Structure formats: structure tokens, C-alpha cells
Amino acid sequence: MSPPFNSRLTNSSSSSLVERQKQKLPELTITCLFMEELQTSLRAHGLTVSSLPDKGRSLFATKDFYPGEIIISQEPFVCVPNNSLTESRCDGCFSKSNLKKCSACQVVWYCGSTCQKLEWKLHRLECQALAKLNKERRKSVTPTIRMMVKLYLRRKLQNENVIPVTAIDNYNLVEALVSHMSDIDEKQLVLYAQMANLVKLILERPDIDIKEIAENFSKFACNAHSICDSELRPLGTGLYPVVSIINHSCLPNAVLVFEGRLAVVRAVQHIPKNSEVSISYVETAASTITRQNTLKEQYLFTCSCTRCIKVYDDIQESAILEGYRCRDNRCSGFLLRESDDKGFVCQQCGLIRNKEEIRKIASDIKALSDKALKSTSSGNLQEAIILYKSIEKLQKEVCHPFSISLMPIREKLLEILMQLEEWKEALAVCRLTIPVYERVYPGFHPLLGLQYYSCGKLEWLLGETDDAIKSFTKAIDVLRITHGTNTLFMKELLMKLEEARSEASFKLSFRE
């Protein structure tokens, strides 16, 4: 495995960038120099940036990459935890424990002095700005507003050489990000302008143009990444300007995961030399129309990857993923809309399903979902379980057995059953999700690996050691590729497999 792409470059290259900045070269020359330095540092890791007519900048491999190999890793230029009124996280490590609020600004939280010290150079400036705001204004400082404030303060610190500038850690890379400003609708532009006004007010910098800040908000929308823990739970948001060069594919050859705040892109397939590196920006287990709508809405492009242009296969696949099941429970056919639009015809046995019947079940599901949501938020988990089970039963009556629409309710049910320590029932629900995930996700997908892991943990808890060994092994086969083997998370998983194996051999020797 090749060494990770280091976010800190050698002193010589970073000082040359600073020197050039000091010499006050014209803007365009500096941009070209930064691009050159970026290419040099990428080349050392078997990568290059090229421009494609239909996609813009794209990351290409200049050597072969193999499954599990790190293609690139990068620290964020800026990042913030997703703090809200109900949940806060440390600004340094995103942890939820031992939090103390910064006494001066009363906005930012830290888990201890280590994180506070690490963040101090930047937070000192942010703290001064936030402390001047009145209580009401402080409430309007959302994570996105904070990320923009931090972006400008970090630029200032790099300009003043307080923090180092490197080939992959500089504001020029932020400037190069796509913004799609000309494609954004009027309403969104007004919103960005209002947010930009607030940022300008916080920064007290009359020299910064509102239009530039608004454009940066638009850049956040199509370039920032949601930072997740190893189990893909979102913790915060970050801007990783080199990782952001990677384009989307619905059949990606790489995956982006996070180790703390570090973004790590790993190959999930063999990526031959001279091919483009791609990740997926959206849930790949959705129908083409759903994926395309999401990509158009958030990233403002129409995907033309091989999966998106396969029209025939896609009609069938979309009907399975998000469509209805046959009225005959023994039939596994998928349904398509009748030409007179009165119902749906099973493509296997020809049975027709009435539109009204489906509409009635859908409205019952909606009513039950509203109730379940209320029960969950009021903490009445026993009642929530009964409601979610009824929803799942109704969904099974309308959805194809391999429909991805069945998954959110099953995941919710699983979460609540785990909270209530109803392990047996949780395992039964977890096992129901596996065949659907196995079908929709390619071999090395983190969600599939994580689901095997959950299954294994439940089986082990319930003393089903042999099954646990099988599930942990399957989880490791997937997650060693997507997550590597060096993180604490993976070490714990590997240890669980070892413990399960020892337990199994102990049981065997005891029986013998």
C-alpha cells in the first residue's frame, strides 16, 4: 500500500510558496504557480489533475491503484461540528464527552485543553469576533456561517504567515472550486446574500465583497463534505479542496471515509493507470431518476456514467428499488404502470394492482409514521416499536421484497430495538436488511460491511458464536478495503473476531 498523501508538504515547497507570495507576484502568476506545485505534489502520489470538457477538473491516476489502497488523504481547510440547540461537539475532535463552552464567545465547545490549544490560533480571532455579538445574533451563527467565518480567518492567518501555506493547503485551491453561481435560482441567491451580510458583520471587514462571500457559500453547497464517524454517522462539515477535485460516478471506483477530521479516499476497485478516480456524491442504492434528481438539485449536473445511460436495465432496476410488489405474495415480479394509468401490471405473472389500493396503504403508512415520530421524540419507545412494526408490515404489502424503500423503517426499528436492548428482535430485523444491501451495493461498500458488523455484534451477544464469526469475517472483508486496518474502529472489529474465534474453540474443546 502506498503511503498516504500527506497534508503537510516538505518545508522547502511550503517556504517557496510563501516566498512567492511575499514577492507580491501578479494574481494570475500566483494561481499558475500554486497549480504547478499542486501537480508536482500529486504526481509524487501517482495522481494528476486534468480538465474534461463535460466535467471540469478531474483527478486521474498516473499509476495503478488496487482495492484498499489510499489514493489521497487530506486535512480540512476549514471544518465545523454540526452543533445544534440539542447537541454539541468539540470543535477539535468532534467528540461529545466532557464538553466545556469557550467562556469568552459562548459559542464553541471543547473536550479539553489539547483540542483548545490546537485550535487556538484560529479560534482566537473567531472568538474576538463572536464575543462582540449580542445574544440574539450569536443564535444565528449556524455551523455554515461559522465555517465561512473560519474560512476568511484562516486565509488571513496564512496571508500573514501565522500558519503555513502548502501546495494542498491554501486559499487558491478554494478559489479554484466550482460555484455554479450562474445556475443558482434567485431565491437561493438572496439567501446567500443575507448569510454573506451576517458573515461580513461578524468579521468587521469592509474590504470583503458580499458577492465573494455569497459565491463561497455556493462553493460550500457543491464542494463541502459531510464528516462522518467510522459508522457513517454525520458529525460535521468540512472543506477539502483537493478531495473536492474528485468527480462523481454512480459506479465509483473509490470511496471517501474519515479518520477523525482527516478525509481518506480509498480505491474499491482496481483503478488502472490513466483512469479517472471517482466517488459517489449520493446514495447509489437509488433509482436512476432519484440519483439524477439529487445530483441536479445539489450539484447542478446531469450524470452520464455507464449506469445512468443503461436505459432498458434501468426500468426494471428502478421498479424493484422504488416500485411496488406483485399482489400475489409468491410472485417476485416487478410492476410497471399500466398504459391507461389506472394501476400497475406485474411483469412476471400479469396480475394488475389497483392504484387506489396502493394509495390507501400509502396514506395509512403516512399516518402511522407521523405517530411513530411523535412517540420516538417523546421517548415512548415501546409505543414507537409497535408503530414501526405496523409500518414495516404495511410496507411489505406494497414494496418489492428487494425495495430500498423498506430500509429506512427497518433501520429505525433496529436502532430503537438496540436502545431497548431487545437483542433477539434487533438481530431478526438486521438479518432482514442484509439481502437487500447485498443486492444493491457492490462488493466493497461501507454500508454493507457495517451491516455485517452489526449483525455479528448481535449474534455474539446472543451467544450465536459461529454465526458471529461468519458475520465478523464478512464485515472485515469489506471494511478492510473501505476503512483500512489501522484505525481504532478496525482494530476493535479485528479483536472481536479473535475473541469470537477463541470462544468457539473453547466451546468445541469443552464439548469434546
Ligand X SMILES: C[S@@+](CC[C@H](N)C(=O)[O-])C[C@H]1O[C@@H](n2cnc3c(N)ncnc32)[C@H](O)[C@@H]1O
Q: How far is the CB of 63 from ligand X (least distance, A)?
A: 21
297 binds ligand X (CB under 6 A): no
Cα–Cα distance for residue pair 476/453, rounded to 1 Å:
8
- Choose between 41 and 249: whose C-beta lies nearer to ligand X: 249
Pattern of binders to ligand X over 300-329, x per CB under 6 A? xx-x--------------------------
- Choose between 70 and 242: whose C-beta lies nearer to ligand X: 242
Among 205, 248, 327, 431, binds ligand X (CB under 6 A): 248
Q: How far is the CB of 49 from ligand X (least distance, A)?
A: 9
33 binds ligand X (CB under 6 A): no
Decide if 89 contacts 235 (C-beta within 8 A). Answer: yes
CA dihedral 278, 74, 449, 410 (to 10 degrees): -90
Among 74, 83, 179, 244, binds ligand X (CB under 6 A): 244
178 binds ligand X (CB under 6 A): yes
Helix axis angle for 446-461 and 465-482, nearest 10°, is 160
Among 20, 39, 48, 55, binds ligand X (CB under 6 A): 55
Stretch touching ligand X by CB under 6 A, among 38-46, 80-88, 239-247, 352-360? 239-247
Q: How far is the CB of 177 from ligand X (least distance, A)?
A: 6
Decide if 114 contacts 95 (C-beta within 8 A). Answer: no
Grid coordinates belonging to 10: 516538505
Locate all alpha helices (DSSP H) within 325-406, ordered by sequence: 355-377, 381-398
Q: How far is the CB of 270 from ligand X (least distance, A)?
A: 20
272 binds ligand X (CB under 6 A): no
Cα–Cα distance for residue pair 28/119, rounded to 1 Å:
32
Which among 254, 237, 338 is positioned nearest to 60, based on CA atoms?
254
247 binds ligand X (CB under 6 A): yes
287 binds ligand X (CB under 6 A): no
376 binds ligand X (CB under 6 A): no
- Choose between 252 and 484: whose C-beta lies nearer to ligand X: 252
Q: How far is the CB of 172 from ligand X (least distance, A)?
A: 13
Q: How far is the CB of 219 from ligand X (least distance, A)?
A: 9
- Choose between 239 and 409: whose C-beta lies nearer to ligand X: 239
345 binds ligand X (CB under 6 A): no
484-490: Cβ within 8 A, 24+ apart: 484/68, 484/70, 484/264, 484/266, 487/230, 487/259, 489/230, 489/231, 490/230
Pattern of binders to ligand X over 76-105, x per CB under 6 A? ------------------------------
Near ligand X in 199-238, by CB under 6 A: 222-223
Which among 329, 420, 328, 441 is positioned nearest to 429, based on CA atoms?
420
- Choose between 267 and 320: whose C-beta lies nearer to ligand X: 267
Q: How far is the CB of 296 from ligand X (least distance, A)?
A: 10
Task: Tell me, letter by letter, the H, E, C secondary structure of 181-230.
Answer: HHHCCHHHHHHHHHHHHHHHHHHCCCCCCHHHHHHHHHHHHHHCEEEECC
Measure the N-to-C terminal CA separation of the chain; round to a whole number of Å.
43
Q: 110 phi and psi, to 5 degrees?
A: -135, 150
60 binds ligand X (CB under 6 A): no
Decide if 434 contacts 452 (C-beta within 8 A). Answer: yes
Q: How far is the CB of 79 from ligand X (least distance, A)?
A: 16
Handedness of CA 48, 50, 54, 55 (dihedral sign): positive
Cα–Cα distance for residue pair 43/415, rounded to 1 Å:
44
Which among 219, 184, 228, 196 is positioned nearest to 94, based on CA atoms?
228
Q: How far is the CB of 38 from ligand X (least distance, A)?
A: 12
465 binds ligand X (CB under 6 A): no
Handedness of CA 206, 180, 285, 330 (dihedral sign): positive
Which residues here bind ligand X, judged by CB under 6 A?
Answer: 54-58, 177-178, 180, 222-223, 244-245, 247-249, 299-301, 303
